[in-house]
Amino acid sequence: MKKLLLVIAAFCSFQYCFAYGTTGHRVVAEIAQRHLSRHAKKELKKLIGDQQLAFWANWPDFIKSDTTGKWKSASKWHYVDLPGGLSKEQFVTDLKGLSGENLYTQIPAMEAQLKDKSLSLEQRQTALYFLIHLVGDLHQPLHVGRDEDQGGNKIKVSWFGKPTNLHAVWDESLVDYQQYSYMEYATVLDIVDKNQEKSWIESPLEDWFYESHVLSDKVYDKTPDGSKLSYGYNYLFVNDLNEELAKGGLRLAKILNEIL
């Protein structure tokens, strides 16, 4: 058992895991599914038939294991790295000034491709799969984290005694700790009142990024290297986690209802 844990720990330190785990992404997708307009549902049917959004939510992570090199450039699409503690104005300036493809450039890029009916079915499907996934990533605060620790990947912590890193805690451990299936989790979170929903979905994309930045500042502040995390950490952050998942789902629905 000890040997196995060591192997897992070694594997995790080489393989940085850049995404909400499978459950988190599916919760976001499922909440979105429940808020689609009739028209968007009809258009989605042309793209993915009777398949659910949740089915495709993790595909952009799965293709990281593709060995042909076809998806190599897409590995940078899942996150942005910026310095911590920025004012909103500075944050937005820095976000817009980032070079190359990243989470901030690719959400609008995927929206444009999904919208463009002159593209092939396959291209539009791919854009949809990325959009479902990337809106989820945007709501994992450490996907809007800091460069020096690779979004928390280099911050070693333990979760109920098991060695892991801060990024992985937010990708998976905290979500899995809630012990819901993704369907159950979507159900318990999908009770946001209309005014709250409106204020979440009508703000601009830059605000969504800034909210993740502010939350990531809190996460960094409360989780220094070497932290031993368990019940208290869940208590501290479970409301933030739930809000992020709900926001992600409602905002994904808003995007799909708008462009389909």
Residue 57 or 157: the one with the smaller Cβ distance to Zn ion is 57
Judged on CB neighbours under 10 Å (0-12, 13-18, 19+), 86 is middle
CA atoms of 97 and 248, how far apart (whole Å): 24
In angstroms and rounded to an integer, the radius of gyration of the C-alpha atoms of the chain is 18
Under the criterion CB under 5 A, does residue 78 sit at the interface with Zn ion? Answer: yes
Contact map string, positions 202 to 231, toward Zn ion, x by CB under 5 A: ------------------------------
d(CA 103, CA 109): 10
Decide if residue 19 touches Zn ion (CB under 5 A): yes
Q: Which is nearer to Zn ion, 19 or 95 (CB)?
A: 19
Q: Is 25 in the site for Zn ion (CB under 5 A)?
A: no
Given the complex with Zn ion, which of 78 and 254 has the nearer CB atom? 78
Q: Does 171 bind Zn ion (CB under 5 A)?
A: no
Which single residue brings its beta carbon nearest to Zn ion?
19
Beta carbon of residue 144, minimum distance to Zn ion (angstroms, whole number): 12
Closest approach of Zn ion to the CB of residue 137, in Å:
4
Q: Which is nearer to Zn ion, 137 or 149 (CB)?
A: 137
The region of 16-24, 119-127, 202-210, 228-236 touching Zn ion under the rule CB under 5 A is 16-24
- Print the binding letters for residues 111-150 with Zn ion: x by CB under 5 A, - otherwise: --------------------------x-------------
Nearer to Zn ion, 21 or 44 (CB): 21
Q: Which stretch binds Zn ion (CB under 5 A): 40-48, 76-84, 158-166, 205-213?
A: 76-84
**How many residues of this chain interact with Zn ion, rule: CB under 5 A?**
3
Check residue 31 for interaction with Zn ion (CB under 5 A): no
Tell the smallest beta-carbon distance from residue 53 to Zn ion (Å): 15
Where does this chain bind Zn ion (CB under 5 A)?
19, 78, 137
